[in-house]
Amino acid sequence: MELYEMSASELSLMLKEKKCSSEELTRSVLSRAKATEEKVGAYLTLCEESAVSKAREVDAKIAKGEKLSALAGIPIGIKDNISTKGILTTCASKMLYNYVPPFDAFVMKKVNAADIVVTGKLNMDEFAMGSSTENSHFKKTHNPHNLDCVPGGSSGGSAAAVAVGSAVISLGSDTGGSIRMPASYCGVVGLKPTYGAVSRYGLVAFASSLDQIGPFGRTVKDTAALFGIICGHDNMDATSADREYPDFTAALKSDVSGLRIGIPKEYFGDGVDESVKQAVMDTVRELEKQGAKLVDISLPSTKYALNAYYIISSAEASSNLARFDGVKYGFRAENYDSLTDMYEKTRSEGFGDEVKRRIMLGTFVLSSGFFDAYYKKAKLVAMDIVREFGEAFEKCDVIATPATPGTAFKLGENMGDPTKMYAADICTVTVNIAGLPAISVPCGKVNGMPAGLQFIGRKFSEQTLLNSAYAVEQLTGEVRPVNV
């Protein structure tokens, strides 16, 4: 077995026992990236020199017998909307095609302090707006399980890189399912943490009340280890939760005896593929045989969630993206007659169609005369969703749903129909609206493509979610990189 094929926990043990070096591992992953990039297209920037240099530093620390983190020396890919000092951070947009941040995001400070090796920046939908990674200005990412299919979005590069072995672990961001959907489509594990558990400082904002950085891994243990490193309080983020977090890996267990699993009827209705429902329910019933208890619940406001999500997220996007005007950094139109003309042409030429669509929608719902009719009502729906989750968790410990309504669709299949593309988020958006944690874990294949089971939990119940996912993993087996 090649080094890039192994899990982070396996590799960490090998590094400690000096059965391999971080440099050897890093070169293996970089070679895998170069061998698969033409087919998969997961990376926007590959940091070969700095990655090898960092790996050598880790090897020197190991040789000295220094105490290192559980993921020291392990290669990681970073979604390209997370600020990396001295490394191009484009958000897959023409608008930021040449932007090199002068600072690191909070999570990058954590990653660097843990001596994790950054291999590069990963492709995504432009400014994290999309469900297929087809909205990137630079390239399309392909699903390693079927190169004719999308990897999901917006963190498609992050999921595809882990699935194909061009990264051992990765970071993505999740605004309405952008970690869990690609994790499901690519057959890997993806965790969307509780809002506030991971600092958003240095994450280029899409919708500030919904955005959350989270980890990808091929195993639950790897995902837990990375989450344990990036979570924590940050004074630079006013929404960061000041609390203690457990050792998620040490507390990992697969015993589900007495676990109450809520089954919401709204997530198993029309619009969700029958085979996906079957795969999810078959897995959950296996957990029932191991001592879990299945509880029927209802979340009636789910039917309004997609509309509410796109109103709220677009409204926040229209405000957040106002800063990209061609004045201080990034793209600027070449020919213009006045300052106002420069703004207009820069934004017209610099943003892609999907970003423009959401800015226009957001500006509309915030405008005078429409604020009460749309934005205010969406926020009221959000309150109902929060309340219903609260009532549901009085009856259960976790909620199990499909992570996506179907398996990965073909490239180009939904690009001409934005509403059909948006419908792919139906199983995930409620979690962001309520600020809850959720995880997608592979639960088998449907017509040859991966399907994901989503567990949703109470705020800061990540350990329970990881344990539930770990129990599923014991049934399905750990994931290895896909051959392409």
Q: Which residues are catalytic?
A: 79, 154, 178
What is the bridge-based pairing of β-strands 398-402 and 260-264? Answer: parallel
**Structure tokens of 420?**
């059909």
Q: Among residues 237, 385, 364, which one has the least CA distance to residue 308? A: 385
Asked if 195 and 212 touch (Cβ cutoff 8 Å), the reply is yes
What the block records as the tokens of 183 is 């994790």
Task: Specify the DSSP class assigned to residue 80.
Answer: T
Instruction: List Cβ neighbours of 476 (8 Å cut-off, separation of 6 or more).
Output: 283, 441, 442, 443, 444
Any idea which residue has 């926990």 for tokens? Answer: 9
The per-residue DSSP string of 282-308 comes to: HHHHHHHHTT-EEEEE--TTHHHHHHH
The residue among 403, 381, 368 whose CA lies nearest residue 311 is 381
Taking the C-alpha atoms of residue 323 and residue 329, their distance in angstroms, rounded to an integer, is 10
And the tokens for 314?
């677009």
Residue listed under structure tokens 């993921």: 71
Buried b (16+ CB within 10 A) or exposed e, 218-228: bbbbbbbbbbb
Residue whose token pair is 């770990």: 470
Query: Which DSSP category does 43 fall into?
Result: E
Residue partners of 418: CB distance under 8 A and separation at least 6:
354, 357
Q: What gap in Å lies between CA 44 and CA 91, rounded to an integer?
A: 10
Residue 236: HSE in the Cβ half-sphere, 13 Å Cα cutoff: 13
d(CA 61, CA 48): 20
